Amino acid sequence: MSVSEMFAALQGALGQDQDIREEIRKVVQALEQTAREILTLLQGVHQGPGFQHIPKKCQKAREHFGTVRTQMESLKTKFPADQYYRFHEHWRFVLQRLVFLAAFVVYLEAETLVTREAVAEILGIEADRERGFHLDIEDYLSGVLTLASELARLAVNSVTAGDYSRPLRISTFINELDSGFRLLNLKNDSLRKRYDGLKYDVKKIEEVVYDLSIRGLNKEAAAGAGGEK
Protein backbone atom coordinates (compact mmCIF):
# COMPACT_ATOMS: atom_id res chain seq x y z
CA MET A 1 0.00 0.00 0.00
CA SER A 2 1.35 3.39 -0.96
CA VAL A 3 1.62 6.28 1.46
CA SER A 4 -1.23 8.09 -0.28
CA GLU A 5 -3.42 4.99 -0.04
CA MET A 6 -2.58 4.62 3.66
CA PHE A 7 -3.60 8.20 4.37
CA ALA A 8 -6.71 7.90 2.25
CA ALA A 9 -7.75 4.95 4.43
CA LEU A 10 -6.98 6.95 7.57
CA GLN A 11 -9.07 9.84 6.26
CA GLY A 12 -11.95 7.47 5.70
CA ALA A 13 -11.75 6.27 9.29
CA LEU A 14 -11.56 9.85 10.56
CA GLY A 15 -14.56 10.79 8.45
CA GLN A 16 -16.63 7.93 9.89
CA ASP A 17 -15.66 8.95 13.41
CA GLN A 18 -16.62 12.57 12.75
CA ASP A 19 -19.97 11.47 11.31
CA ILE A 20 -20.70 9.47 14.47
CA ARG A 21 -19.79 12.40 16.69
CA GLU A 22 -21.99 14.74 14.70
CA GLU A 23 -24.97 12.39 15.00
CA ILE A 24 -24.36 12.13 18.74
CA ARG A 25 -24.20 15.93 19.07
CA LYS A 26 -27.60 16.31 17.43
CA VAL A 27 -29.27 13.98 19.91
CA VAL A 28 -27.39 15.52 22.85
CA GLN A 29 -28.62 18.96 21.81
CA ALA A 30 -32.19 17.64 21.90
CA LEU A 31 -31.54 16.14 25.35
CA GLU A 32 -30.15 19.45 26.57
CA GLN A 33 -33.28 21.24 25.38
CA THR A 34 -35.53 18.76 27.21
CA ALA A 35 -33.38 19.11 30.34
CA ARG A 36 -33.79 22.90 30.18
CA GLU A 37 -37.55 22.50 29.93
CA ILE A 38 -37.63 20.22 32.98
CA LEU A 39 -35.37 22.58 34.93
CA THR A 40 -37.53 25.59 34.05
CA LEU A 41 -40.59 23.70 35.24
CA LEU A 42 -39.03 22.66 38.55
CA GLN A 43 -37.59 26.09 39.27
CA GLY A 44 -41.15 27.15 40.01
CA VAL A 45 -40.98 25.37 43.37
CA HIS A 46 -38.64 28.09 44.63
CA GLN A 47 -41.38 30.69 44.38
CA GLY A 48 -43.96 31.14 47.13
CA PRO A 49 -47.00 29.77 45.28
CA GLY A 50 -44.84 26.99 43.81
CA PHE A 51 -44.87 25.05 47.08
CA GLN A 52 -48.59 24.49 46.64
CA HIS A 53 -48.10 22.95 43.20
CA ILE A 54 -45.19 20.58 43.81
CA PRO A 55 -47.16 17.38 42.97
CA LYS A 56 -48.42 18.88 39.72
CA LYS A 57 -44.94 20.07 38.74
CA CYS A 58 -43.43 16.67 39.49
CA GLN A 59 -46.09 14.94 37.41
CA LYS A 60 -45.41 17.27 34.51
CA ALA A 61 -41.65 16.71 34.87
CA ARG A 62 -42.16 12.96 34.68
CA GLU A 63 -44.02 13.45 31.42
CA HIS A 64 -40.96 15.25 30.06
CA PHE A 65 -38.83 12.29 31.11
CA GLY A 66 -40.86 10.28 28.64
CA THR A 67 -39.28 12.45 25.94
CA VAL A 68 -35.87 11.88 27.53
CA ARG A 69 -36.31 8.11 27.26
CA THR A 70 -37.19 8.42 23.58
CA GLN A 71 -34.13 10.59 22.96
CA MET A 72 -31.93 8.16 24.87
CA GLU A 73 -33.15 5.32 22.67
CA SER A 74 -32.05 7.37 19.67
CA LEU A 75 -28.66 8.12 21.22
CA LYS A 76 -27.97 4.43 21.77
CA THR A 77 -28.15 3.81 18.02
CA LYS A 78 -25.59 6.46 17.06
CA PHE A 79 -22.41 4.62 18.05
CA PRO A 80 -21.12 1.04 18.47
CA ALA A 81 -22.38 -0.44 21.72
CA ASP A 82 -18.87 -1.41 22.86
CA GLN A 83 -17.53 2.16 22.50
CA TYR A 84 -19.49 3.87 25.28
CA TYR A 85 -16.50 5.49 26.94
CA ARG A 86 -14.96 6.58 23.65
CA PHE A 87 -17.88 8.98 23.14
CA HIS A 88 -18.92 9.41 26.77
CA GLU A 89 -17.64 12.99 26.97
CA HIS A 90 -20.34 14.11 24.51
CA TRP A 91 -23.26 13.27 26.80
CA ARG A 92 -21.56 13.30 30.23
CA PHE A 93 -22.69 16.80 31.19
CA VAL A 94 -26.31 16.46 30.07
CA LEU A 95 -26.56 13.03 31.70
CA GLN A 96 -25.39 14.47 35.01
CA ARG A 97 -27.94 17.26 34.64
CA LEU A 98 -30.69 14.73 33.99
CA VAL A 99 -29.63 12.71 37.05
CA PHE A 100 -29.96 15.85 39.14
CA LEU A 101 -33.40 16.59 37.72
CA ALA A 102 -34.62 13.04 38.32
CA ALA A 103 -33.23 13.14 41.86
CA PHE A 104 -34.90 16.49 42.48
CA VAL A 105 -38.27 15.18 41.33
CA VAL A 106 -37.98 12.12 43.57
CA TYR A 107 -36.94 14.27 46.53
CA LEU A 108 -39.87 16.63 46.02
CA GLU A 109 -42.22 13.66 45.82
CA ALA A 110 -40.93 11.58 48.72
CA GLU A 111 -38.00 13.46 50.33
CA THR A 112 -35.72 10.47 49.77
CA LEU A 113 -32.54 9.92 47.75
CA VAL A 114 -33.20 8.23 44.46
CA THR A 115 -31.08 5.13 43.77
CA ARG A 116 -28.85 4.84 40.73
CA GLU A 117 -31.05 2.00 39.49
CA ALA A 118 -34.18 4.14 39.79
CA VAL A 119 -32.54 7.04 37.94
CA ALA A 120 -31.48 4.70 35.16
CA GLU A 121 -35.07 3.48 34.86
CA ILE A 122 -36.39 7.05 34.75
CA LEU A 123 -33.93 7.90 31.96
CA GLY A 124 -34.51 4.68 30.04
CA ILE A 125 -30.94 3.40 30.29
CA GLU A 126 -29.15 0.64 32.18
CA ALA A 127 -27.62 0.66 35.64
CA ASP A 128 -25.41 -2.32 34.84
CA ARG A 129 -22.39 -1.49 32.68
CA GLU A 130 -22.43 -4.95 31.15
CA ARG A 131 -25.87 -4.39 29.65
CA GLY A 132 -24.92 -1.50 27.36
CA PHE A 133 -25.65 2.21 27.56
CA HIS A 134 -25.61 2.79 31.29
CA LEU A 135 -25.51 5.35 34.05
CA ASP A 136 -21.91 5.67 35.16
CA ILE A 137 -21.48 5.80 38.95
CA GLU A 138 -19.54 9.07 38.81
CA ASP A 139 -22.25 10.68 36.67
CA TYR A 140 -24.83 9.59 39.24
CA LEU A 141 -22.80 11.02 42.12
CA SER A 142 -22.24 14.31 40.28
CA GLY A 143 -25.98 14.68 39.76
CA VAL A 144 -26.63 13.98 43.45
CA LEU A 145 -24.14 16.71 44.45
CA THR A 146 -26.01 19.16 42.23
CA LEU A 147 -29.18 18.15 44.08
CA ALA A 148 -27.52 19.15 47.36
CA SER A 149 -26.89 22.67 46.06
CA GLU A 150 -30.45 22.94 44.84
CA LEU A 151 -31.83 21.86 48.20
CA ALA A 152 -29.67 24.43 49.99
CA ARG A 153 -31.35 27.07 47.84
CA LEU A 154 -34.76 25.53 48.51
CA ALA A 155 -34.16 25.71 52.26
CA VAL A 156 -33.64 29.47 52.04
CA ASN A 157 -36.66 30.00 49.81
CA SER A 158 -38.82 27.82 52.06
CA VAL A 159 -38.31 30.27 54.91
CA THR A 160 -39.20 33.16 52.61
CA ALA A 161 -42.40 31.33 51.69
CA GLY A 162 -43.26 30.75 55.36
CA ASP A 163 -42.54 27.01 55.30
CA TYR A 164 -40.39 26.59 58.42
CA SER A 165 -40.45 22.80 58.66
CA ARG A 166 -38.96 22.07 55.23
CA PRO A 167 -35.47 23.45 56.07
CA LEU A 168 -35.30 21.07 59.05
CA ARG A 169 -36.08 18.10 56.82
CA ILE A 170 -33.65 19.28 54.18
CA SER A 171 -30.96 19.66 56.86
CA THR A 172 -31.46 16.08 58.02
CA PHE A 173 -31.35 14.81 54.44
CA ILE A 174 -28.21 16.76 53.48
CA ASN A 175 -26.37 15.65 56.60
CA GLU A 176 -27.19 12.03 55.79
CA LEU A 177 -25.98 12.65 52.24
CA ASP A 178 -22.75 14.17 53.53
CA SER A 179 -22.20 11.16 55.79
CA GLY A 180 -22.70 8.87 52.81
CA PHE A 181 -20.15 10.71 50.67
CA ARG A 182 -17.63 10.52 53.49
CA LEU A 183 -17.69 6.75 53.08
CA LEU A 184 -16.40 7.07 49.51
CA ASN A 185 -12.77 7.20 48.50
CA LEU A 186 -13.11 9.70 45.68
CA LYS A 187 -10.14 9.81 43.32
CA ASN A 188 -11.80 11.50 40.37
CA ASP A 189 -10.52 15.09 40.47
CA SER A 190 -13.67 16.65 39.04
CA LEU A 191 -15.97 14.70 41.34
CA ARG A 192 -13.73 15.38 44.33
CA LYS A 193 -13.88 19.13 43.71
CA ARG A 194 -17.65 19.00 43.47
CA TYR A 195 -17.84 17.00 46.68
CA ASP A 196 -15.70 19.64 48.41
CA GLY A 197 -18.54 22.07 47.66
CA LEU A 198 -20.98 19.95 49.66
CA LYS A 199 -19.62 21.30 52.94
CA TYR A 200 -20.72 24.80 51.88
CA ASP A 201 -24.21 23.50 51.18
CA VAL A 202 -24.27 21.88 54.63
CA LYS A 203 -23.11 25.15 56.20
CA LYS A 204 -25.68 27.20 54.30
CA ILE A 205 -28.53 24.98 55.47
CA GLU A 206 -27.23 24.97 59.04
CA GLU A 207 -27.32 28.77 58.98
CA VAL A 208 -30.96 28.66 57.87
CA VAL A 209 -31.87 26.29 60.68
CA TYR A 210 -29.95 28.39 63.19
CA ASP A 211 -31.73 31.52 62.01
CA LEU A 212 -35.07 29.80 62.55
CA SER A 213 -33.95 28.94 66.07
CA ILE A 214 -32.87 32.42 67.11
CA ARG A 215 -36.07 33.88 65.68
CA GLY A 216 -38.11 31.50 67.81
CA LEU A 217 -39.50 29.67 64.80
CA ASN A 218 -37.82 26.35 65.55
CA LYS A 219 -40.76 25.08 67.61
CA GLU A 220 -43.16 25.83 64.78
CA ALA A 221 -40.72 24.21 62.37
CA ALA A 222 -40.44 21.06 64.48
CA ALA A 223 -44.23 20.85 64.74
CA GLY A 224 -44.49 21.24 60.97
CA ALA A 225 -41.89 18.54 60.41
CA GLY A 226 -44.05 16.14 62.38
CA GLY A 227 -47.08 16.91 60.23
CA GLU A 228 -47.57 17.02 56.53
CA LYS A 229 -44.53 17.58 54.34
CB 15 within 8 A of CB 35: no
Residue 135 sits at the vertex; the CA angle it makes with 134 and 137, to the nearest 5 degrees, is 130
> Which residues are bridge partners to 126 per DSSP?
134
- Three-state SS string over 105-163 comes to HHHHHHCCCCCHHHHHHHHCCECCHHHCCECCHHHHHHHHHHHHHHHHHHHHHHHHCCC
111 is in an annotated binding site: no
Tell me the C-alpha to C-alpha distance, in Å, between residue 87 and each of 98, 126, 176, 181, 200.
18, 17, 34, 28, 33
Tell me the C-alpha to C-alpha distance, in Å, between residue 49 and each of 74, 139, 146, 168.
37, 32, 24, 20
d(CA 203, CA 207): 6
CB 196 within 8 A of CB 188: no
Binding residues for Mg(2+): 150
Which residues define the annotated binding site?
150
